[in-house]
């Protein structure tokens, strides 16, 4: 007697995206060997999937450029959860396109290389470089279409922006983390600022300085991208219950460099007494000139 097909529902069907490789998720230790999700992995997967939705939409909107394959650089790649899932769900179904994972920890780079080889993900490269070093590395192409940086710590996000501007990126996807540089500068000039303006009360206490520095850092980054010709959107990555490092900055190149954004950035640097950052972090602002040459939208 012919056995009826099983009607037992797949317990993961509602949590995994269609076409997702179970083997990949096991190799990334998101799924257990038995194919189950624990609570920590569930949060991690939800965060990566949410980010994937934004990136997938960006990639689909980018016009095809004849003779060039789509390229994406993932800075501070870590174990490359994002890169592998992007490749599995997006690039693996297409005949071209390349992902570059950039990470400073050599052991993670080696593990990612072995996993990509095992899974047959041939258009993935992993580089043991800092974000800053990658900008001038011959191992990366002259042009990179999309730059991602998920929880790149402190100034690594600024380095990712500098990298993208140099590589004429058509889009950025940034989730900043541990923004400490501006807070240090605020603390250094605290006494002078307190004498100059009552606004300095916003960063008189160390805890407030840290929070103000974090907020100010991301505002300055957004203004900088706008001044360099990008349309910027700021939103939540996931609900605050999943991660406190939750700000997602999306930037698409339009070519419309906003003079008002450059002016406001300069005004904020002056008001907060942090003009010393101008020649360190905002090097493309001089007269708001084009970034080397126009990016193809």
Domain boundaries, given as residue ranges, for the chain: 43-285
Task: Return the pLDDT at 152.
Answer: 72
Average pLDDT for 166-173: 96
Mean pLDDT across the chain: 85
- pLDDT at 297 > cutoff 70: no
Taking residues 43-60, report their average pLDDT: 90
Residue 296 has a pLDDT of: 60
Residue 134 confidence (pLDDT): 94
* Share of residues in the chain with pLDDT > 90 (%): 51
Identify the residue with better confidence: 225 or 193.
225
Top pLDDT among 39 and 57 is at 57
Q: What is the DSSP letter of 223?
A: H
286 pLDDT tier (thresholds 50, 70, 90): low
pLDDT digits (tens, 9 = 90+) for 238-255: 654 444 467 899 999 999
Split at pLDDT 50, 70, 90, the class of 192 is low
From CA 271, how far away is CA 199, in angstroms rounded?
A: 9
Indicate if the pLDDT at residue 92 is higher than 60.
Answer: yes
**pTM of the shown model:** 0.85
- The pLDDT of residue 55 is 94
pLDDT of 42 > 90? The answer is: no
**DSSP string covering 147-176:** EEEEEEETTHHHHHHHHHHHTT-SEEEEEE
Kindly tell me if the per-residue pLDDT of 115 is higher than 50.
yes
Q: What was the pLDDT predicted at 292?
A: 45
Task: Give the CA count within 13 Å in the CB-facing half-sphere of 161.
Answer: 31
* 225 or 32, which is more confident: 225
Q: State the pLDDT confidence band at 10, using cuts at 50, 70 and 90.
A: low
pLDDT of residue 195: 64
In this prediction, residue 219 has a pLDDT band, given cuts at 50, 70 and 90, of very high
Q: How confident is the model at residue 194 (pLDDT cuts 50, 70, 90)?
A: low
**How far is residue 109's CA from residue 263's CA, in Å, rounded to a whole number?**
41
Sheet of 171-177, strands arranged across: 124-128, 98-103, 71-75, 146-153, 171-177, 247-253, 230-236
Q: Residue 86: what pLDDT? A: 96
Q: What is the mean pLDDT of residues 138-147?
A: 95
Q: Are 271 and 199 in contact (CB under 8 A)?
A: yes
At residue 97, the pLDDT reads 95
**Residue 290 reports pLDDT greater than 60:** no
43-285 — its CATH code?
3.40.50.150
Question: What secondary structure letter does DSSP report for 25?
Answer: H
What's the average model confidence in pLDDT over 159-175? 95
pLDDT at residue 193 greater than cutoff 80: no
Q: Determine what percent of the chain is predicted with pLDDT higher than 70.
A: 86
pLDDT attached to residue 126: 97
Asked if pLDDT for residue 262 goes beyond 90, the answer is yes
Question: 254 with 231: CB under 8 angstroms?
Answer: yes
The helix (H) or strand (E) run that includes residue 26 is helix 22-27
């Amino acid at each position: 007697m012919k056995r009826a097909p099983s009607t037992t529902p797949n317990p993961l069907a509602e949590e995994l995206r269609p076409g997702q490789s179970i083997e990949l998720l096991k190799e990334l230790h998101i799924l257990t060997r038995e194919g189950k999700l624990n609570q920590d992995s569930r949060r991690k997967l939800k965060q990566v999937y949410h980010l994937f939705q934004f990136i997938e939409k960006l990639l689909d909107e980018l016009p095809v450029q004849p003779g060039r394959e789509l390229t994406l650089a993932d800075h501070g790649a870590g174990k490359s959860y994002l890169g592998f899932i992007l490749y599995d769900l997006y690039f693996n179904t297409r005949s071209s396109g390349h992902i570059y994972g950039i990470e400073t920890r050599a052991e993670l780079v080696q593990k990612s290389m072995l996993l990509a080889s095992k899974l047959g993900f041939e258009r993935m490269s992993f580089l043991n470089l800092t974000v800053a070093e990658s900008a001038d590395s011959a191992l990366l192409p002259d042009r990179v279409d999309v730059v991602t940086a998920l929880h790149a710590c402190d100034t690594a996000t600024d380095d990712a922006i500098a990298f993208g501007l140099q590589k004429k990126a058509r889009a950025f996807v940034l989730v900043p983390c541990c923004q400490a540089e501006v807070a240090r500068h605020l603390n250094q000039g605290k006494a002078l600022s307190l004498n100059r303006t009552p606004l300095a009360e916003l960063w008189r206490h160390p805890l407030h300085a840290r929070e103000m520095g974090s907020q100010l850092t991301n505002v300055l980054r957004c203004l900088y991208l706008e001044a360099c010709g990008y349309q910027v959107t700021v939103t939540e990555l996931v609900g605050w219950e999943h991660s406190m490092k939750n700000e997602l900055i999306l930037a698409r190149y339009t070519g419309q460099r906003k003079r008002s954004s450059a002016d406001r950035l300069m005004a904020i640097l002056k008001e907060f007494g942090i003009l010393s950052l101008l020649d360190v972090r905002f090097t493309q602002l001089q007269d708001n000139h084009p970034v080397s040459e126009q990016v193809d939208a």
